[in-house]
Chains A and B, each alone.
Chain A
Amino acid sequence: MRIIVHREKCQGHARCWSMAPEIFALDDEGYIVPGDIDVAPEDEQRAWRGAKSCPERALDIEK
């Protein structure tokens, strides 16, 4: 699984981080660190939850 990060859409809700802080790294202002995220199989459920929780739809899931 890969999470495509649309950094320009991020408004710092941090819903992704609150679901899985070790998968979705944030900068000092609370915005997502740029760059797509490769997800290990054992982390897929939590990554899915985090990506789906983004109100700005800034995170796409690529299986």
Chain B
Amino acid sequence: MISMAAARPVPAHVPPEMVGEFSLFTAPGMAPTPNGDPQAAAACVHAGPRIFYSPLNTRDGRGTWVITRAADQRRVLQDPETFSSHRSIFASALGETWPMIPLELDPPEHGVFRSLLNPLLSPRRVMALEPAVRERAAFLIDRIAAAGTSCDVMKAFAFPFAVNIFLRFLGLSDDRLEEFVGWATDLLHGDDRKRPAAARTIVAFIDDLAAERRRQPTEDFMSFLVQAKVHDRPLTDMEVRGVGVLLFIAGLDTVAAAIGFDLAYLARNLEDQRLLRREPQRIVLAAEELLRAYPTVQMIRVATKDIDFEGAPIRKGDYVSCATMIANRDPHEFDCPETIDLAREDNRHQAFAYGPHRCLGSHLARREIVIGLEEWLKRIPDFRIRQGTAPIAYGGHVFGIEDLILDWS
């Protein structure tokens, strides 16, 4: 949670008229809200100025410039020289400074690690993983259907589905799935005590796993990592840790949240649900619109020099936020951005961000979402949110949804 006492004062170089109230953490609709819609709530910024300063817009209480236009975000995200990724979000929870890799590196070093990892999650590689993904979805949904006519989607499907696939990719068994999810929850959503504790636990786990794979390599991801080379030399322990920790936490919340938001939408929009069930070939295109409508993260960059950006006097060291859910509802970019049109054709959304740091896991994520929806719609008839219940949606560091109870006849 945000520590209000840690919020810093607005820097002197920010003109008072450029200070805005919106925050991904404290704006209306961002706190956990029954039947909430935090992505729609974030779109309110499009009624205001093109760029403004939000005094409290990161989890550790920092202010950031907020880039509202998709085209401006593209400019920022394609200019790593001016807008750097050098931060240590994870390590700082431990009072340390090593980077998550490749997330917190800039080119050219960024590219070296990205090239190493790209083939592991490339479209071609993901195609090879598909049968296992489909099998896992089918197993979970069959179990739900056999158990009755309702379920808690996040617990019964979204998390066990997304997290299992990712653990399998990493070469970890999923008998500790709930424990891992617990660590991620504490890390991403915990208080000032839980977060560092979770960070320490995850680091220890990754370090131990790396040591084990060095002793006895298998065919899995960590084995690949400890045997890999960059610049003709093996990765250092810190580099293995930096990649391992990032990959561990990257695959946990994000896809599960996307599936949750998507099923909540379909539960509330029966006509769309029925159309996709009748014509499953539409699901691929529909999934892109759902990615546009319900993305979950914001990119943060740090200015490396003073720059006037569309009238904003950005100074070296200022934080700049490129929030995916804000870009994805930019009226300069999308016709009727607030309308969710599952047949939308012109849809260059930025759910997976832009430029060199475009999400490494995007191909796997996309296929998991499509396959998850395909298998769900095959097996579960007309479903809705159970009467008397209300899913809780929230904004903040990583948007999410919980207590999503669906039922059907």
Listed in ascending order, the chain A residues whose CB lies under 8 Å from chain B are: 11-15, 17-18, 21, 26, 28-30, 49, 52-57
Are B122 and A11 within 8 A (Cβ)?
Answer: no
Are A12 and B347 within 8 A (Cβ)?
Answer: no
Listed in ascending order, the chain B residues whose CB lies under 8 Å from chain A are: 115, 118-119, 121-124, 284, 288, 345-350, 352, 354-356, 358, 362-363, 366
A-B contact pairs, 10 of them (CB 8 A): A14-B362, A18-B366, A21-B123, A26-B124, A29-B119, A30-B124, A49-B345, A53-B288, A54-B348, A56-B355
Are B119 and A18 within 8 A (Cβ)?
Answer: no
Counting chain A CB atoms within 10 Å of each CB, which of B119, B345, B358 scores highest? B358
- The CA of A53 and the CA of B355, in the complex, are separated in Å by 15
- Judged by DSSP, the binding face of A is loop
Contacts of B284 in A (CB 8 A): 18
Are B349 and A52 within 8 A (Cβ)?
Answer: no
Contacts of B124 in A (CB 8 A): 26, 28, 30
Are B347 and A26 within 8 A (Cβ)?
Answer: no
- The CA of A16 and the CA of B41, in the complex, are separated in Å by 31
- The CA of A26 and the CA of B363, in the complex, are separated in Å by 13
- The CA of A53 and the CA of B287, in the complex, are separated in Å by 13
- The CA of A55 and the CA of B122, in the complex, are separated in Å by 17
Contacts of B355 in A (CB 8 A): 11, 56
B118: contacting residue among A21, A29, A53, A57, CB under 8 A: A29
Are B358 and A12 within 8 A (Cβ)?
Answer: yes
- The CA of A35 and the CA of B348, in the complex, are separated in Å by 23
Given contact pairs A52-B346, A55-B349, A11 touches B354 in the complex (Cβ within 8 A):
yes
Closest A-B pairs by Cβ, 10 of them = A29-B118, A30-B122, A55-B348, A14-B123, A11-B358, A28-B119, A30-B123, A17-B123, A29-B119, A14-B363
Least CB distance, B123 to chain A, in whole angstroms:
5
Are A13 and B346 within 8 A (Cβ)?
Answer: no
Least CB distance, B69 to chain A, in whole angstroms:
14
Least CB distance, A62 to chain B, in whole angstroms:
19
Least CB distance, A44 to chain B, in whole angstroms:
15
Are B354 and A55 within 8 A (Cβ)?
Answer: yes
- The CA of A48 and the CA of B115, in the complex, are separated in Å by 29
Given contact pairs A30-B363, A53-B348, A11 touches B118 in the complex (Cβ within 8 A):
no
Instruction: Kindly report which residue of chain B lies nearest to residue A9, judged by CB atoms.
Output: B78
Least CB distance, B99 to chain A, in whole angstroms:
20
Least CB distance, A36 to chain B, in whole angstroms:
21
Contacts of A13 in B (CB 8 A): 352, 358, 362
Contacts of B288 in A (CB 8 A): 15, 53
Are B358 and A26 within 8 A (Cβ)?
Answer: no
Given contacts A15-B288, A52-B345, 20 further A-B contacts (CB under 8 A): A11-B358, A12-B118, A12-B358, A13-B352, A14-B123, A14-B362, A15-B348, A21-B123, A26-B122, A26-B123, A28-B119, A29-B119, A29-B122, A30-B118, A30-B122, A52-B348, A53-B288, A53-B347, A55-B349, A57-B348
Instruction: Kindly report which residue of chain B lies nearest to residue A30, judged by CB atoms.
Output: B122
